[in-house]
Amino acid sequence: MEKIIDEKKQGNSLVLEQQKENSRKLYIESYGCQMNFSDSEIVASILAKEGFNTTQKMEDADLVLVNTCSIRDKAEQTVRKRLEKFNAVKRINPKMKVGVLGCMAERLKSKFLEEEKIVDMVVGPDAYKDLPNLIQEIDEGRNAVNVILSKEETYGDVAPVRLNTNGVSAFVSITRGCDNMCTFCVVPFTRGRERSRDPQSILKEVSDLWERGFKEITLLGQNVDSYLWYGGGLKKDFEKASEMQKATAVDFSELLAQVAEAHPKMRIRFSTSNPQDMTLDVIRTMAKYPNICKHVHLPVQSGSNRILKEMNRLHTREEYFELIDNIRKILPECSISQDMIIGFPTETAQDHQDTLELMEYVKYDFGYMFTYSERPGTMAARKLEDDVPEEIKKKRLTEVINLQQKHSAYRTKQHLHKTIEVLVEGTSKKSDEHWMGRNTQNTVVVFPKEHYKVGDFVNVKVNDCTTATLIGEPVGYSENN
């Protein structure tokens, strides 16, 4: 018998979670990039078929999973701290099993079992379909490990169970892995080689989301512009594909166009673009379809040509400027955001100035900025000494963050006194009487709720702003409703 245990009204969308009686409870926590959050939804789907229902309370769980990130040392330390907490709960509930998923699982493999005695199961990002077998192993009292990386796996045939959803926006993954081998980055080691998902399964997932009332999707990949479907297999093997496969291959700009055309009222975002792989075709496709959001996340990491080369970023700052100029020309309304790494090995005061100068040229809308963290096994860790002193890294980081704040404030102000379309996502964190949503550029907007609901497209007149948030009043439904 099935009974409804949780019924949350969120605006006009009703979220029902059904639970089979006598089923087991899964508690899952995710860290790191959006891809990890999306993967956890795949894991929840695979385990739902095994009779596991998700719970928000760790204390109630039969199985606790943590989907981990290895991108910086700090991300790994955060997970280690959480494991201590899990350990405390396990002392009260010794039957509880603990599994580690994601990039740390792939990086540390069975070493995890020795280092963290609490862990029963270690599962890498390409091995989630093996979870039913691995769980049987741990049920029988053995530890279980599967960290095999795959040439084919895209989970295209798994319908994700949406976790913590607002019923409005969802992630749809389109590629897995990365072939770029930036020298600082652990991702190619933990997520394997690049492969793309069948466009038909992507379109089907988007249609399902649309039918369930979702209004915005983000197409996800470590490097979306490198998307290439030619019938399956690794991107690096495309050269070996048949003439027929090559002639019918779908690249990222075609995929974007297909999704945009199939659902003209669905907002489409994508992340992340790598400057060396982003094509003019993609920018032109963005211009052609009003439902593709006018925002590009375009990490640059450094403004110095010498450092870009050391990082194995396969473009120069001049080529980056050319790309920025093209985006501004074809899409004058487009917002641009960045990722920066501060204090990469050998970074001099002049290299740092080059970064500040590049930022001054672009004036990014927002960005994610971190000091360099050496990752074991990467080319940078093997070849270069982490030689920029910590206090210099911190000082440079502060300068970069301060400059970004200035630019964010400048960009946010450009929207003042304009009327913009906002998709309502939920209640503002600061006020129960206000909705929070975003405009096409991904800027957060808050406005009085009035009669509007979650999932509505509302025209909002902007009257005020802070550094990163627009404040306005609703003036009616947008024609997109």
Site of interaction with ligand F3S (CB under 6 A) = 178, 180-182, 185, 187-188, 222-223, 274
User: Tokens 């509302």 label which residue?
Assistant: 458
User: In the bound complex, what is the minimum distance in angstroms from residue 220's beta carbon to ligand SAH?
Assistant: 9
Minimum distance, C-beta of residue 352 to ligand SAH, in the bound complex (Å): 15
HSE of 334, CA atoms in CB hemisphere, 13 A: 28
Give least dist CB 404 to ligand SAH, A.
13
Q: How far is 287 from 155, CA to CA, in rounded Å?
A: 30
Between 180 and 469, whose beta carbon lies closer to ligand F3S?
180
Q: 104 or 446, CB closer to ligand F3S?
A: 104
Nearer to ligand F3S, 180 or 478 (CB): 180
- Amino acid (one-letter) located at 456: D
Residue 245 in tokens: 């496969």
Collect all residues with Cβ–Cβ distance below 8 Å to 277 and sequence separation of at least 6. 223, 225, 226
Residue 372 binds: one of ligand F3S, ligand SAH, none (C-beta under 5 to 8 A by kind): ligand SAH
Cβ atoms < 10 Å from Cβ of 318:
8
Of ligand SAH, ligand F3S, none, which one sits near residue 375, judging by CB under 5 to 8 A according to partner kind? ligand SAH
In the complex with ligand F3S, which residue's Cβ is closer, 176 or 393?
176
**Shortest distance, CB of residue 407 to ligand SAH, whole angstroms?**
17
Three-state DSSP class for 299? coil
Instruction: Identify which of residues 82 and 309 has a Cβ nearer to ligand F3S in the complex.
Output: 309
d(CA 10, CA 369): 34
Residues that bind ligand SAH (CB under 6 A): 33, 71-72, 184-185, 187, 222-223, 272, 299, 301, 339, 341, 370, 372-373, 375
* Among ligand F3S, ligand SAH, none, residue 263 binds (CB under 5-8 Å by kind): none
Amino acid at 448: P
Which residue lies nearer to ligand SAH by CB, 72 or 396? 72
- The item of ligand SAH, ligand F3S, none sharing an interface with residue 370, based on CB under 5 to 8 Å by kind, is ligand SAH
Residue 373 contacts which entry, ligand SAH, ligand F3S, none (Cβ below 5-8 A, type-dependent):
ligand SAH
C-alpha to C-alpha distance for 404 and 207, rounded to whole angstroms: 38
Q: Where are the beta strands (DSSP E) in 192-317?
A: 195-196, 216-220, 228-229, 250-251, 267-271, 295-297
Instruction: Report, in Å, the least distance between residue 478 CB and ligand SAH.
Output: 30
Of 382, 384, 313, 312, the closest CA to residue 345 belongs to 384
Residue 188 binds what, of ligand SAH, ligand F3S, none (CB under 5 to 8 Å, by partner type)?
ligand F3S
What's the distance, CA 314 to chain centroid? 22
Q: Which is nearer to ligand F3S, 181 or 409 (CB)?
A: 181
Instruction: Tell me how crowded residue 220 is: count the other CB atoms within 10 A of its CB.
Output: 22
Residue 269: contacted member of ligand F3S, ligand SAH, none (CB under 5 to 8 Å, by partner type): none
d(CA 301, CA 216): 28
CB atoms within 10 A of CB 124: 25
